[in-house]
């Protein structure tokens, strides 16, 4: 149980995040609405979402250590969709969540099912990046019929064979390193966050997004740091993904959810060829390489939005029909 001091620090960090998000959304001329979702049967009770646009629904799931607002450059290109960007459990302003010892496959399926229940969405396209892409694939493999289609931007984290941790993530996969880091790591600054993301998504990507993004990512690091550090030993042993996390070839062949992989050619976590291989195994999937890194909508949001629309039109996705 957290202390009153922990609660005050979290409240202050949430206020910092809200202020940073407001500046980012203003820079993008992006009207976003904040809403709290209460899950009736999920791993956490309170989940925050950011919503914009009107039309067919999209649910967007971010990667480890990130948050809903990181989708803002893409959301600004999708006014014709009702986009619902989610702060995953333990991330952003959503309720804290201890991932230690959690069955991540089961957690992903249970969380996404409870979220779609709460949102009352009978059919939806899910857009995922990194760990969020893994969540989407696990839910599709579990047969959730509400997933009308998937768009997976960047390497999917751990759900496909061939993923590798970056060296800092590999170091944090040793629990004692994470505990020390949590004690010694200073609060993230926007400038430090910018340098960190340059090493993950590439310098062209960080140069392409508004500078206000990095006050957001710094605030997200303060809020989600404990979850991120606890997550690394659950995902990796050194640089190797834990053996039970990648989907098998048979599991991939059984996924009939129309899926498009959009993979940055310079993604630091996984080769584009691994995404192309997965797409070839899946009966209704395709794979597109694009310039950029692990968050290709930072490199070129317009291209990613166009690839999403093309995917939905090509796949005749029922979620594109207004309800």
CATH of the domain at 220: 3.40.50.1820
Which contiguous run of DSSP H or E holds residue 83?
Answer: strand 82-86
DSSP string of 106-172?
Answer: HHHHHHHHHHHHHHT-SSEEEEE-THHHHHHHHHHHTT-TTEEEEEEES--TTSSTT-B--HHHHHH
Q: Please, are residues 6 and 96 in contact by the beta-carbon 8 Å criterion?
A: no
- Burial classification of residue 205, based on how many CB atoms lie within 10 Å of its CB (0-12 exposed, 13-18 middle, 19 or more buried): buried
Containing structural domain, residue 247: 4-320
Q: What is the spatial distance between Cα 160 and Cα 76, in angstroms, rounded to a whole number?
A: 29
Q: What is the spatial distance between Cα 105 and Cα 113, in angstroms, rounded to a whole number?
A: 12
Q: Please, are residues 86 and 59 in contact by the beta-carbon 8 Å criterion?
A: yes
pLDDT tens for each residue of the chain, 323 residues long = 455 656 787 788 899 999 999 999 999 999 999 999 999 877 788 999 999 999 999 999 999 989 999 999 999 999 999 999 999 999 999 998 889 999 999 999 999 999 999 999 999 999 999 999 999 999 999 999 999 999 999 999 899 999 998 888 888 888 756 565 555 555 788 999 999 899 999 999 999 999 999 999 999 998 988 898 889 999 999 999 999 999 999 999 999 999 999 999 999 999 999 999 999 999 999 999 999 999 999 999 999 999 999 999 986 544 444 43
Is pTM beyond 0.85 here?
yes
Q: Please, are residues 158 and 241 in contact by the beta-carbon 8 Å criterion?
A: yes
DSSP string of 22-60?
Answer: HHHHHHTT---EEEEEE-SSSS-SEEEEEEE--SSEEEE
Provide the number of structural domains found in the chain: 1
């Amino acid at each position: 149980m957290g202390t009153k001091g922990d609660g005050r620090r979290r409240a202050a960090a949430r206020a910092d995040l809200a202020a940073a998000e407001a500046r980012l959304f203003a820079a993008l001329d992006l009207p976003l609405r904040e809403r709290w979702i209460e899950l009736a049967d999920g791993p956490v009770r309170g989940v925050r979402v950011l919503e914009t646009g009107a039309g067919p629904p999209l649910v967007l799931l971010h990667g480890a250590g990130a948050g809903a607002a990181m989708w803002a450059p893409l959301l600004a290109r999708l006014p014709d969709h009702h986009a619902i960007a989610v702060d995953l459990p333990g991330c952003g302003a959503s309720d804290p969540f201890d991932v230690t010892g959690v069955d991540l496959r089961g957690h992903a399926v249970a969380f996404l099912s409870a979220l779609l229940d709460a949102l009352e969405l009978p059919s939806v396209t899910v857009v995922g990046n990194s760990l969020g892409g893994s969540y989407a694939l696990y839910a599709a493999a579990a047969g959730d019929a509400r997933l009308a289609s998937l768009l997976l931007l960047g390497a999917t984290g751990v759900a496909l064979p061939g993923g590798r941790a970056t060296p800092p993530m590999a170091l944090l996969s040793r629990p004692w390193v994470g505990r020390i880091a949590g004690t010694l790591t200073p609060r993230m600054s926007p400038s430090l966050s910018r340098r960190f993301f340059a090493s993950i998504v590439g310098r062209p990507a960080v140069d392409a997004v508004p500078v206000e993004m990095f006050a957001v990512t710094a605030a997200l690091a303060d809020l989600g740091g404990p979850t991120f550090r606890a997550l690394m030993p659950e995902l990796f042993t050194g640089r190797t993904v834990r053996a039970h996390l990648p989907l098998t070839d048979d599991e991939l062949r059984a996924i009939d959810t129309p899926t498009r992989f959009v993979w940055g050619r310079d993604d630091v976590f996984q080769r584009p060829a691994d995404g192309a291989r997965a797409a070839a195994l899946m009966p209704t999937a395709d794979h597109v390489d694009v310039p950029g890194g692990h968050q290709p909508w930072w490199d070129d949001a317009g291209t990613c939005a166009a690839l999403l629309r093309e995917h939905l039109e090509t796949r005749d996705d029922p979620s594109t029909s207004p309800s």
